[in-house]
Amino acid sequence: MNSKTITPGFLILTGIVFLAAFIRLIPHPPNFAPIAAVALFGGSYFNKKWAAFIVPLFAMFITDLILGFHATMWAVYLSFVMIVGIGMLMIKQKKVTNIFLASVSSSVLFFIVTNFGLWISTPYYEKTGVGLAACYTAAIPFFHYTLLGDLFFVAVIFGLYELAKAKLPQLIEA
């Protein structure tokens, strides 16, 4: 990294990502966590593509070192990378509608990818269409937590950052 990479805005964005990721360590309802919000935020605000992926993934990895790993981590990280991409594509203009649609899309993507990962990586369900349907059906009661958590944390993180940018214009370049 050179000195142009480490701007005050970059440091603030990185701090926000790490702070949000560490909220995962506080007790919370199942799936009501800032995972998608961190990925969307990184994808939307970091100017450097490498930072959009690496900073949120690294923050996630650090919290996973504390929380522990499981057989479907690959699916969680795959969905996380895909959500960073959603942030890059869907939130080029910081409009409430774009952010809302990206957040809902991220929740659905996370549900699809991680539950497929559970089905394929564990012995809990038969490796048949019926087993896959049973896996997704069993996960439905948790989806509302994912959706509500994503919408809540996206609103908080994006909202606070936009408010801070209005008060501190030097944050614009990151």
* Cβ atoms of 157 and 41 closer than 8 Å: yes
Picking from 54, 65, 60, 51, the residue whose alpha carbon sits closest to that of residue 23 is 60
Specify the pLDDT at position 170: 67
Residue 142 has pLDDT above 90, yes or no: yes
Q: What does the alpha-carbon distance between residue 58 and residue 12 come to, in Å, rounded to a whole number?
A: 16
CA-angle at 42, arms to 39 and 46, nearest 5°: 160
The per-residue pLDDT for range 5-34, each reduced to its tens digit, is 677 778 888 888 888 888 888 888 888 989
pLDDT digits (tens, 9 = 90+) for 93-140: 889 999 999 999 999 999 999 999 999 999 999 999 999 999 999 999
Measure the CA–CA gap between 83 and 80, rounded to whole angstroms.
Answer: 5
Quickly tell me which residue has 């981590």 as its tokens.
73
The predicted pLDDT at position 2 comes to 53
- The confidence score (pLDDT) of residue 90 equals 83
